[in-house]
Amino acid sequence: MGSRFDEMRIFSGNGNMPLAQLICDRVGVPLGDATIVKFTNENIFVKLNESVREKDVFVIQSLSTPDLSDRIMELLILLDACKRASAGRITAVIPYYAYGRTDKKDQPRVPITARLLADMIQVAGAHQVLTIDLHAGQIQGFFSIPMDELTAMHLLVRYWADKGWDDVIVVSPDVGFGKRARNFAEAIDAPLAIAEKRRVQHFGSHAGPHTSPEILNLIGDVQGKRCLIVDDEIATGGSIMEVVRLLQREGASEIYACCVHAVFAGGAAERLQKSGIREVVVTDTLPLPPGKRWPGLTVLSVSTLIGEVIQRIHSGISVDTIFTQHKHPALG
Ligand code: R5P
């Protein structure tokens, strides 16, 4: 099928340059030439060094740490620059959507920052959004423009299915992730256990209010089994560590973990490395500099998935069929 647009351009902010380059390699176009600078007054300036007039423009930006707020501003400013340069269509490609956990008003006088971010992305000029494994699917509804949410779970499924283990049990780190963990367990033909986690809110520390996970109970029998903890993201690693301790108490023989988004904040990588988890498998939706890598970490790339979807969007071909090709049916 032909494209509405003669040409495509792909630009990237500083959120995950290595991934943006891999995506461009996969699509077969050079990374667009843009200047992004932060002045001494901390204002961010963007200049597109090539024309985007009437072109099909993709702006890749993972909302990564450190300097998350800068990454958000870079995305918004890049979108604005594309809009003001008369791009034909602008797709914001956001491999990791930050603030996904602030998606509802679950206590008085709190914001819904995931919605605020969606509003800003639309106002800045995005005509559509492409993202991977949102923390909560309903964030799709915060956008009134087309939104394609891809899943990278099939990459993880294939990795573990290839091990051919017959004594593995999938462990969901909390009840909220239970449905997705059940689909994952079905896809690798394994049983499921669920850790019942509650977050305890702490106020008044010098770092401000924060929550810490506290595991209460395990639903399922892991005695003598290989346990595979599955989650959408590992941030501080607090949740995973609680689950590891619980599984060790319950007699698990070996413990493995995987997630899509390796946020690895505040010493998480070091904690995971020392945790006794035999292997941690993640994707590259977020950058993983050497300090966040260790021999027991395996990184699977989402570049082929995103590249293929970008080509389909550009050519006006259904994105859905990519999943019937690549995705295990149980992950629906
Ligand atoms: C929670 O609802 C999520 O699924 C993850 O379990 C959570 O984001 C992980 O955060 P942390 O690693 O800081 O415990």
* Cα 98 to ligand 1 centroid, rounded to whole Å: 13
Ligand 1 atom nearest residue 242's Cα: 14
pLDDT score at 255: 98
Tokens read off for 107: 């206590």
Does 177 or 200 have the greater pLDDT score?
177
Indicate whether 135 pLDDT > 60: yes
Q: Is the pTM of this model over 0.75?
A: yes
Element (H, E) at 81: helix 68-84
Topology (CATH level 3) of domain 8-152+303-331: Rossmann fold (3.40.50)
- Please give the full DSSP string across 209-220, using - where no structure is assigned: SEEEEEEEEEES
* Tens of pLDDT, residues 118-134: 999 999 999 999 999 99
* Cα 36 to ligand 1 centroid, rounded to whole Å: 32
Instruction: Tell me what the mean pLDDT of segment 73-95 comes to.
Output: 98
pLDDT score at 55: 98
pLDDT score at 322: 77
Indicate whether 325 pLDDT > 60: no
Instruction: Tell me what the mean pLDDT of segment 172-196 comes to.
Output: 96
Identical topology for domains 8-152+303-331 and 153-300: yes
248 pLDDT band (50/70/90 cuts)?
Answer: very high
User: What are the residue numbers of the active site?
Assistant: 197
* Tens of pLDDT, residues 269-305: 999 999 999 999 999 999 999 999 999 999 999 999 9
pLDDT score at 324: 58
Count of other CB atoms within 10 angstroms of residue 9 = 24
Dihedral sign (CA 66, 205, 210, 257): positive
The domain 153-300 having CATH identifier 3.40.50.2020: the answer here is yes
Tokens read off for 292: 């966040």
Residue 253 sits at the vertex; the CA angle it makes with 249 and 254, to the nearest 5 degrees, is 105
Indicate whether 238 pLDDT > 60: yes
Indicate whether 59 pLDDT > 80: yes
CA–CA distance, 10 with 29 (Å, rounded to integer):
8
Pocket of ligand 1 contains residue 231 by CB under 6 Å:
yes
Pocket of ligand 1 contains residue 173 by CB under 6 Å:
yes
Domain ranges in the chain are 8-152+303-331, 153-300
| DSSP code of residue 176 | T
Pocket of ligand 1 contains residue 233 by CB under 6 Å:
yes
Instruction: Tell me what the mean pLDDT of segment 65-79 comes to.
Output: 98
Indicate whether 30 pLDDT > 70: yes
pLDDT exceeding 70 applies to what percent of the chain?
Answer: 92
Pocket of ligand 1 contains residue 238 by CB under 6 Å:
yes
| DSSP code of residue 105 | -
Taking the alpha carbons at both ends of the chain, their separation in whole angstroms is 27
* Cα 237 to ligand 1 centroid, rounded to whole Å: 7
